[in-house]
Structure 1
Amino acid sequence: MTLVRTLLGIPELRLRLLGGEDLLDREVSRIYVTELPDPSRYLSAGELVLSGLLWWREPGDAEPFVAALAQAGCAALAASGADSGGVPADLVAACTRHRIPLLEVPPDLSFAVITERVVLALATESEGARKRLLSAAAEGAALPDLLAHGARELGADCWVLSATGRVVAGSTGGPPRRRTVLPVGGRHAVPWVLAVDADLSPAAAEVAEELAGLAGLARSREDEVRSAGMRVAAPLLHLLGTSGGGNAELATAFAATGLAPDTQLRVLLARTSGAPLGAELLCELLAGHPGAVFVGEVGTGEAYALVDTGAHWPDDWAATATRTLRELDPVLAAGPVLVGVGGPATVSGLRGAAEEARQAVVAAARRQERVAVVSGEEIGVHRLLVGGAPDALRQALRERVLGRLLEYDDGQHTDLVRTVRVFLECSGSPARAARALHVHVNTLRYRITRASELLGVDLTDFRGQVDVYLALLIEG
């Protein structure tokens, strides 16, 4: 860290302190030369201001100049009074009043020499700071420790944030402040940034860039550790994702996770448009979850997560996850992102929870939105029962129950199938269905009677209604 005191200690500069003995530990971040009577527009915090005092004409001129330096938070003023018989007394008084350290530059010393030596000192300090950060990283410092090192070097708090705004780590527990933001290195679907609570000088910016790069390396290390820990669940996630294996194989794969058989679990499925980002998205959504989490890719564009929910799973998890993914949408170079949630279930019900997650994704796809998250609780039991049946069985049932009605509509160019669907969705009420279809109630009753004849089912009977409605849920 280059301090005002450091500059006074450089022999070839021969700077003399005229005021501000108690302010010598101020950090110098850059150097600025000016002869403007009011340089306020161009000043930055931490600057050493050099001036030949060409702007000074008479007593009183120093006040607005020094006030501008104080307002900007400049580190010190180095002034040469060669053309005015020395540094004016009112400049010394103004610097004392506004608490600005005042250094006198020898008349025979070029500002170019001062600039060169200060820039060299700043560059040397920057190089030292970068080496200290690299040393901490080489010793395996975790991300929070690395940020603490960085905060000391930069003299400002810093945080790593994900693209969702989640605080990954910070040098302090306070809310992040983003006066300077730098991208964190690495190729990830969910990018990170380094936020620093300071306006950085060029030298400090180099240190911050080094810190951002090291944060990217720390993320990669953490990714490797997490992946190694999740490999134990890979066989189980594969079985759930492919509906393969028997009960014994499932039990063996589950035992490898180390979870107790009575653990309450959720199964999550993320489906993306072929890009291998589902696992990373699930990890982001589940970051900070207090229970065990296992995530893995299963096939192209699909990732599953097994989540130990303990006794609690937020009722609004799907809504919160939807908002989080929508915040990410601008940075996702991908098509739709759909997430389904199944469970809760213990190991004995995991297959059912996985199927529930798959049906939730199907329901999410029906919303025709780029981002959709659906929980199994949002889907009617009848839809889950129909969706869980094998495709061949579902199509056979649809044909057996609706076949004659479908053929009639096709041949006569009628729409009795829609009439029946609306009638059943109106709880079998002719009056409500007629209003929904904008027809007379007698017309509605005639159509339902005709449909009953073709179906061979009494559509006023509850069991017949259930069979037909479930068949209507099967997509042709």
Structure 2
Amino acid sequence: MRAGTALLDRPVSRVYVTELPNPGRYVSAGELVVSGLLWWRGPGDSEGFVAELVKAGAAALAASGADSDGIPEDLVEACTRHGIPLLEVPTDLSFSVVTERVVLALAAAAEGARKRLLSAATEDASVETLLERARAEIGLPCWVVPAGTPSDLVRRFVAAGGRSLEADDVSVRPVGGRHALPWLLAIGGPLTAAQAEIAEELAGLIGLARTRADEVRAVTDRVLEPLLAALDEGSDPHAALTATGLRGDLRVVVARTEGSEAARGILTELLPPGALVGPAGETTWALAEDDGEWPEDWPATATAALSTVEALLPCRRVLIGVSDRSPVSVLRGAKEVARYALAVATERPGTIEVVPGGEIGMHRLLLAGAPDDLRAALRRRVLGPLLSYDAEQGTDLVHTLRVFLECSGSPTRAARALHVHVNTLRYRIGRASELLGTDLTEFTEQLDVYLALSAGS
């Protein structure tokens, strides 16, 4: 040791051999730089060389003085001044031997780290336990980011097609496994080759731990099945509800995906902890406690999360309906509200539609409870003459009437919405009144007609 004896605890990432006088652009942080000093011509040459090594973050310099009559004194002084360890390589020792020893040591360290992580995984270690072990092995902070978290890091991961990337001093690896919403393994810093190998192993092991946790949860969530059956059958749900362990007011959530069976995984990832999730036919249902801390913006948050990773979703569409906060006494009704909210989501054109029951009008919920045949009969009874007239004449008075009523019966607003003159609007509404045999300026008549219009939507 010629300099920096107190700095020997620095980690080494790899070996770099150079004879360039200005090697900075080729040196990476943590490297052991090995040089035969062929660049040295006289006193003063060492300052720039050492300064560039320090700027690049080199761990140490190993130099041989075989071609310079020993280690130059100005090199020792420069290394001491800049705080970088300087090791003298004996003249009879080949650089290939030095390089081989370092490479083998690094490989052994990486292999040992992988074995220790694998041992932890076989002991059914949790994700957090694996991350703690990895932080000790890699020497950098490690954390998991659900891909449904709207953030710049996640957006860059999605833009990269869900593949590994280096972004703003954070190294990202996709967590292994086939899941509806992917996870990211983030590591706080650029990785050496050995660290990158450990990171790949860690990403796979976290995926296995996640899969195990999902399997355990699927078994636990089976307690929801008797409750869903009781609600569908109209039997007393209290015993089944008690078995679930859920207490207080509840939210009912229902989801369906098109193109794959990803609904369960999506709800499991997006809903608050403690929610129960279970399939029932073509849909997946969930019950979550609402003790006043349920996020009222959950539909918007869920939509944002899913939209962020839309390109990586394993399905064509994600459709979700959410009930209002409901006591147990009206749980069956809450389930119907969620069911109808899902139907509304299905009618909408978006790839991701999350519909809260609170945004659906009372009249639509009441109509939703009527059988399809009854709704069709009511629509024909009230609107029959108007429907026939439109079919025969090629007009669209039904649409005009709907817009008129949705504008609270205001001819001015309705004309503006339809981009027609207000007198044209009044004529059309007058013609519709004649065909229906009703006075469309009366509130009760407007209500009957609007319900009939809604019965077909």
Q: Scaled by the length of structure 2, what TM-score is found?
A: 0.91
Q: Which range moves more in the overlay, 348-357 or 122-131?
A: 348-357
- Does 1:354 find its partner at 2:339? no
Give, in whole Å, the separation in 2 of the partners of 1:391 and 1:465: 22
Identity of aligned residues (%): 60
Residue 47 of structure 1: aligned partner: 31
Cα deviations across residues 262-284 of structure 1 (Å, max 9, x unaligned)?
Answer: x1111112221141111111122
Paired residue for 1:156, among 126, 140, 145?
Answer: 140
Q: Secondary structure at the match of 1:122?
A: helix
Paired residue total: 442
TM-aligned CA deviation for residue 72 of structure 1: 1.7
Asked if 1:188 is matched to 2:179, the reply is: yes
Cα distance, 1:20–1:355 mapped onto 2, change above 3 Å: same
Residue 364 of structure 2 is matched in structure 1 by: 383
Could you tell me which of 33, 36, 43 is aligned with 2:20? 36
Distance in 2, Cα, partners of 1:254 & 1:410: 51
2:2 to 1, 18, 27: 18
User: For residue 270 of structure 1, what is the aligned residue in structure 2?
Assistant: 255
1:24-79 Cα shifts (integer Å, max 9, x gaps): 11111111111111111111111111100011111111111111111122111110
Query: 1:230 offset after TM fit, Å?
Result: 0.9
1:211 maps onto 2:202 in alignment: yes
- Which ranges in structure 1 are unaligned for 5 or more consecutive residues? 1-16, 168-175
Q: How far did 1:235 drift?
A: 3.0
Matches within 5 A, 1:322-337: 322-337=303-318
Q: Is the 8 A contact 1:177 1:196 kept in 2?
A: no
Q: Which amino acid aligns with 1:124?
A: A
5 Å-filtered alignment, 1:125-274, equals 125-165=109-149, 179-237=170-228, 244-248=232-236, 250-260=237-247, 263-274=248-259
Mind listing any 5+ residue stretches in structure 2 that lack a counterpart? 152-166
* C-alpha distance in structure 2 between counterparts of 1:474 and 1:133, whole Å: 60
Within the candidate set 64, 67, 70, 2:48 is matched to: 64
Give the secondary-structure state (helix, strand or coil) at the position aligned to 1:131. helix
Aligned residue type for 2:365: L
CA drift of 1:440 comes to 5.6
Q: 1:274 to 1:238 in 2, by over 3 A?
A: farther
| Distance in structure 2 (CA, Å) of the matches to 1:273 and 1:429 | 40
1:307 aligns with 2:288: yes
Could you say what the CA RMSD is over the residues aligned between the two structures, in angstroms? Answer: 2.2
Q: Which residue of 1 aligns with 2:275?
A: 293
Q: Structure 2 vs 1, CA of residues 128 and 239 (structure 1 numbering), >3 Å: closer, same or farther?
A: same
Distance across 1 between alignment mates of 2:10 and 2:419: 80
Q: Is the 8 A contact 1:339 1:374 kept in 2?
A: yes
C-alpha deviation, 1:405, in angstroms: 1.9
Change (3 A) 1:363 1:316: same
Structure 1 residue identity aligned to 2:4: G
Distance 1:367 1:166, change over 3 A: closer
Counterpart of 1:257, as a letter, is: T
For residues 37 and 419 of structure 2, what CA distance do their matches in structure 1 show? 89
- The answer on 1:364 being equivalent to 2:349 is no
